[in-house]
Structure 1
Amino acid sequence: MRVIAEGLVTEDTPPSLIGGRERESGRVVFPCPPGERYEPVALSRTGTLWSYTIQRYRPKSPPYAGPEAFRPWAVAYVELPGEVIVESRLTDVAFEDIRIGMPLELTMIPLDPEAADPVLIPAFRPTGAAA
């Protein structure tokens, strides 16, 4: 698995996002900052949709490194219970079926599905009755 950035997800199957727990306060952040202040922790693979928007235009390059032919996607804020709210893409759901509070699980998707050797990015998809 070739992930878009090092230290973003665990090497487990299936992977988890790697957050950082502040050693002094216990506060969890994502991604895990470098240095001694935070210890890396595997975050929950499941959460709920806290908020979202639809990305309808191609982001500036750099930093965007996705396909030239742009297709809109859903950008979600996913609440991982008792941990942190993370920003991620939503996948495997039609825009009109997205609902605040829907249960989600982590998956990995290609940034550019048509690339010969695509890099993977974390995304969340509906689970349970929402799937």
Structure 2
Amino acid sequence: MTATANQTLVADGIFRLDDDGRPVLFGSRCTNCDNHMFPRQSGCPKCMFDTQEDIELAQAGTLWTWTVQAFPPKAPPYLGPVGADFEPYGVGYVELGDQVRVETRLTVGTPEELEIGMAMEIVAHVLTTDDDGNDVVTYAFAPTATGDQS
């Protein structure tokens, strides 16, 4: 599943939405050294071999570190609101088991809501609305409701 009739993905080839509407990230795994990469790559930065296979990455992990994006990033590539409509948001790295650390937008962004080492899960996040009225969707990570890593 790519997106519903009223949704469009922010970029092709980075992720898809599963049947429940949850993002699934596309990564690579080096068949020589087992290094995992995101986004997909044609060569391994660890061993320099070019024997990658495409894989789907885990949908849950652990918050490795985070900060707050307190001002609008440069557009493009940023697609969200700027000026008075901008709202700060969390940005961090989520460690997906023994696969890879993924730089990601977070659904929350205050010290009261985030703690390094907490369990996180991937969710769909609407960035903006395009000219045709479709929601432009990306992936983000949110604290898990149970605190469990799966």
TM-score per shorter chain, which class? 0.7 to 0.9
Alpha carbons of structure 1 residues 67 and 118: separation in structure 2 relative to 1, 3 Å? farther
Query: Aligned pairs, how many?
Result: 130
Aligned partners of 1:54 and 1:72 also within 8 Å: yes
Q: How big is each residue's C-alpha offset from its partner over 1:47-84, in whole Å with a ceiling of 9 and x where there is no partner?
A: 01000000001111122122232110000100001100
Aligned partners of 2:23 and 2:139 also within 8 Å: no
CA distance in structure 2 between the partners assigned to 1:27 and 1:70 by the alignment: 37
Provide the residue aligned with 2:71 in structure 1.
Answer: 57
CA distance in structure 2 between the partners assigned to 1:80 and 1:16 by the alignment: 12
What is the TM-score normalised by the length of structure 2?
Answer: 0.76
Aligned partners of 1:104 and 1:125 also within 8 Å: yes
Q: How big is each residue's C-alpha offset from its partner over 1:24-68, in whole Å with a ceiling of 9 and x where there is no partner?
A: 222100011257642210111010100000000111112212223
What is the TM-score normalised by the length of structure 1?
Answer: 0.87
Provide structure 1 residue ranges, at least 5 long, that are not aligned to the other structure.
none
Aligned match for 2:91, one of 75, 78, 83? 75
* Root-mean-square deviation (Å): 2.3
Identity of aligned residues (%): 38
Task: Report the 3-state secondary structure (helix = DSSP H, G, I; strand = E; otherwise coil) of the residue aligned with 1:119.
Answer: strand
Aligned partners of 2:94 and 2:102 also within 8 Å: yes
Task: Report the 3-state secondary structure (helix = DSSP H, G, I; strand = E; otherwise coil) of the residue aligned with 1:110.
Answer: strand
- Corresponding position: 1:42 with 2:56: yes
Task: Report the 3-state secondary structure (helix = DSSP H, G, I; strand = E; otherwise coil) of the residue aligned with 2:24.
Answer: coil
Q: How big is each residue's C-alpha offset from its partner over 1:5-32, in whole Å with a ceiling of 9 and x where there is no partner?
A: 1111134223311111123222100011
CA distance in structure 1 between the partners assigned to 2:77 and 2:109 by the alignment: 26
Provide structure 2 residue ranges, at least 5 long, that are not aligned to the other structure.
44-49
Aligned partners of 1:10 and 1:42 also within 8 Å: no
CA distance in structure 1 between the partners assigned to 2:129 and 2:69 by the alignment: 17
Provide the residue aligned with 1:31 in structure 2.
Answer: 39
Provide the residue aligned with 2:25 in structure 1.
Answer: 17
